[in-house]
């Protein structure tokens, strides 16, 4: 198989900012509580007339520009999202149309906050193969629309944004070395939107107001994430025959600074070996990993030849990691 890697990377955050102090005027919370419990200070919120597909398009344009490619060069679009424009059809198809890459395949992946690491693995299996020279893998979320803004346990945690990568054939020794992906459907209720699907339609007898919004068992998420993060990192390195000492940077899902610190401690690594930007953007769910990777590159923390591990964990339950040589 051809070696496939990231040849272009882009991120887009909507311009509107919402601070912890802004939340103090909406729910019973404080900057001190949010900062201590999550590490978050600011998050970006999309304007009312902006959709998940619009954020994705902007991130894709920047990734294509970074790769020196045009929309017409794209052979496949894979969108990781758990906040689609509409329940159906595919939001990836909407992105394809808005981007102008009319002669390509497009489909969605929903692995919630682990969406992009799953999509990257799928995209790498296509890129470089006959008919799929260039594959766009994008994570895009507008969680501000699926949150209950009166639920202080969840509404302060999330922000909106998108990140995208162009996958193409690269020279041997570079690219995606491998992935490790896992799921446990017995925990599907830990993070969910209970209503709106066929199990509980909005007009069903069992529907109650509030079931249409994102819900999360915070303690269960903590117990899961602090184990899943280091497990995914170790497992992908075992799979590709590398060890922790070779890794230049670990880029985790930006869920919570305390989860990241606990996970890095579980790996026996200092925080200097990871990258965080959740203080600026909050938890952008399936978009957080590519956004963070773009910023880590911009800050000169990683570059050509760097061994990077991307790791994510979230609803499903789903978790996994990718090992990449840039």
Name the catalytic one among 20, 277, 283, 322.
283
Q: Are strands 76-80 and 135-141 parallel, antiparallel or unpaired?
A: parallel
| Catalytic residue list contains 51 | no
What is the distance between the alpha carbons of residues 155 and 227, in angstroms, rounded to a whole number?
24
Let me know if 308 is exposed, middle or buried by CB neighbors in 10 A (0-12, 13-18, 19+): buried
| Catalytic residue list contains 253 | yes
Q: Which two tokens stand for residue 3?
A: 């070696």
In the three-class reduction of DSSP (H, G, I as helix; E, B as strand; rest coil), residue 224 is classed as: helix
DSSP 132: B
CA atoms within 13 A on the CB side of 317: 17
Name the catalytic one among 134, 253, 256, 277.
253
What size, in residues, is the chain?
Answer: 326
On whether the CB atoms of residues 137 and 165 are closer than 8 A, the answer is yes
On whether the CB atoms of residues 302 and 174 are closer than 8 A, the answer is no
Q: Which two tokens stand for residue 111?
A: 């692995």
Name the catalytic one among 110, 113, 256, 277.
113
Buried/exposed code over 75-84 (b: 16+ C-beta within 10 A; e: otherwise)? bbbbbbbbbb
What is the distance between the alpha carbons of residues 223 and 274, in angstroms, rounded to a whole number?
21
| Catalytic residue list contains 113 | yes
- Quick one: angle between helices 288-298 and 115-126, nearest 10? 80
What is the distance between the alpha carbons of residues 203 and 281, in angstroms, rounded to a whole number?
35
The dihedral of CA 230, 291, 147, 201: what is its sign? negative
Active-site annotation, residues: 113, 253, 283
């Amino acid at each position: 198989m051809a070696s496939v890697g990231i040849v272009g990377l882009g991120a887009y955050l909507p311009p509107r900012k919402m601070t912890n102090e802004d939340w103090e005027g909406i729910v019973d919370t404080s900057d001190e509580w949010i900062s201590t419990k999550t590490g978050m200070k600011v998050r970006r919120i999309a304007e009312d007339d902006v959709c998940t597909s619009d954020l994705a398009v902007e991130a894709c344009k920047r990734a294509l520009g970074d790769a020196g490619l045009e929309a017409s060069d794209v052979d496949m679009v894979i969108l990781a999202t758990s906040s689609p424009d509409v329940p159906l059809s595919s939001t990836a198809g909407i992105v394809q149309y808005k981007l102008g890459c009319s002669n390509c395949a497009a489909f969605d992946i929903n692995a919630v906050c682990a969406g992009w690491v799953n999509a990257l693995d799928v995209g790498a299996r296509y890129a470089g193969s006959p008919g799929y020279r260039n594959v766009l893998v994008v994570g895009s979320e507008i969680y501000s629309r699926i949150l209950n803004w009166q639920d202080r346990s969840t509404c302060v945690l999330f922000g909106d944004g998108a990140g995208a990568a162009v996958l193409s054939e690269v020279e041997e020794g570079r690219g995606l070395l491998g992935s490790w992906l896992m799921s446990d459907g017995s925990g599907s209720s830990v993070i969910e939107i209970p209503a709106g699907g066929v199990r509980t339609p909005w007009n069903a007898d069992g529907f109650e107001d509030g079931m249409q919004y994102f819900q999360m068992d915070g303690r269960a998420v903590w117990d899961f994430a602090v184990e899943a993060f280091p497990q995914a990192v170790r497992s992908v390195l075992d799979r590709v025959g590398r060890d922790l000492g070779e890794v230049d940077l670990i880029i985790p899902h930006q869920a919570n600074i305390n989860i990241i610190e606990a996970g890095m401690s579980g790996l026996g690594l200092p925080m200097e070996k990871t990258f965080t930007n959740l203080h600026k953007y909050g938890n952008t769910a399936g978009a957080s990993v590519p956004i963070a990777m773009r910023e880590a590159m911009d800050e000169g923390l990683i570059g050509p030849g760097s061994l990077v591990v991307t790791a994510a964990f979230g609803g499903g339950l789903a978790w996994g990691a990718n090992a990449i040589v840039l």
